[in-house]
Amino acid sequence: MELTGAEIIKAAAMIGAGICMGFGAIGPGIGEGFAAGKACEGVAREPENANLITRTMLIGQAVSESTGIYSLVIALLMLFVIK
């Protein structure tokens, strides 16, 4: 059984999409965990500023998550656009 060029390209795109999502999820996962941990420390030190700290943390996590969303878009393009 011989593989055609199109089948090899499709297989490579699927492997690439998996790698893209794997590496694309590492950064946001670490960054969001670090931000949440530091926010908990901040609230423990200054409970009166809990609302400000939480709001700032959520904005930072949204910015961090954008890189994960970019990698998802690239992975979906690799899966459904490459023929």
* 57 touches 9 (CB < 8 A): no
Which residues are within 8 A (CB) of 25 and not within 5 positions of it... i.e. 6 or more apart?
Answer: 68, 71
Residue 42 lies in a domain: yes
Residue 66 belongs to domain with CATH number: 1.20.20.10
Residue 17 lies in a domain: no
Residue 5 lies in a domain: no
Entry pTM: 0.75
Structure tokens at 22: 């794997």
User: Sorting pLDDT into bands at 50, 70 and 90, what band is 83?
Assistant: low
Residue 65 lies in a domain: yes
The total number of structural domains that make up the chain: 1
Residue 64 lies in a domain: yes
Q: Please report the pLDDT score of residue 73 as a whole number.
A: 94
